[in-house]
Homo-oligomer: A and B are copies of this chain.
């Protein structure tokens, strides 16, 4: 059975009864709920769950039912930009599933959610119907408050559902993307400008590696600095390459890498690929040699 992960963000981070109702809806669909991360300041909560495609789709639709029954964007305030009650729903291939599987699942789920709630839905990232809709930020610009005006323009007709916002739930953005790895490297220095210069060197937006977002920050309590990163495609820009890149840049300032850290979850394949690279494994080596891979295959 292929396993797909889903990480929906809903526009509620304060009312525990609403968060519990949404969690119960997800669990009831037979997926494994791995994490619930509410943020009161953002007034937003991230659910992480995984399962086989049909269950994941059912869990998302149950989450839409629960969230739309309790969340009214007209009275919602929080620091994080948002377009809808269920703001964004990415599907992520984990095991025995391809990106194409996730794109298909995104389209089917978007169509069903739009029909169930008369809700406009946009497809994004790998599921986007046009390049202009790949980036979440572009779709979300203007937020809930600007949505009616935005949707009046023909180029912002939704992929599914009506061409006007849902009165209380706005619109939703559903798509498919690679697993994102929150990866930080701590440097043996307190010089923030070193971390900032390395971040500038390594990140895609300023000339660095294609699937890296990065910034330099101070860890005040430890008296050191950190290159804080998101790796948005660990197959194409793998962890080990980022580690070695940052190590070399740091050396140019006479600074050593102290340690690295992963925040939250990481797919096993991202780590085994790094082990294979550092160990200089030969071309014959494949994931099929990993015992657990054998155990999972159509057992």
Contacts and interface: CB of A to CB of B under 8 A. Distances in A.
Interface string A1-33: 001010000000000000000000000000010
A277 to B, nearest CB: 8
A271 interface: yes
Contacts of A274: 275, 278-279
A172 interface: no
B289 A262 contact: yes
A291 B268 contact: yes
A279 B241 CA distance: 10
A239 interface: yes
Contacts of A95: 292, 295
A294 B261 contact: no
Interface string A218-258: 00000000000000000000011001000000000000011
Q: Is the interface of A mostly helix, strand, loop or mixed?
A: mixed
B50 A279 contact: no
A264 interface: yes
Contacts of A239: 275, 279
A265 interface: yes
Among A265, A267, A268, find the residue whose CB has the most chain B CB atoms closer than 10 A. A268
A280 interface: yes
A267 to B, nearest CB: 5
Among A265, A278, A279, find the residue whose CB has the most chain B CB atoms closer than 10 A. A279
Contacts of A32: 294-295, 299
A214 to B, nearest CB: 16
Among A264, A289, A292, A294, find the residue whose CB has the most chain B CB atoms closer than 10 A. A292
Copies of this chain, tallied across the complex: 2
Contact of A278 (B240, B259, B281): B240
Interface residues of A, number: 43
A69 interface: no
Contacts of A282: 186, 259-261
Among A50, A186, A289, A291, find the residue whose CB has the most chain B CB atoms closer than 10 A. A291
Q: Which 3 A-B pairs have the closest CB atoms?
A: A271-B275, A274-B275, A278-B278
Given A265-B290, A265-B294, A274-B275, 15 more contacts: A5-B291, A50-B291, A94-B295, A243-B279, A257-B280, A258-B280, A259-B280, A266-B289, A266-B290, A267-B290, A267-B292, A268-B272, A271-B290, A275-B278, A292-B292
23 contacts: A3-B295, A5-B291, A94-B295, A95-B292, A179-B291, A186-B282, A240-B275, A243-B278, A243-B280, A260-B281, A260-B282, A261-B282, A261-B285, A266-B289, A266-B290, A266-B291, A267-B290, A267-B291, A267-B292, A268-B290, A268-B292, A271-B272, A274-B279
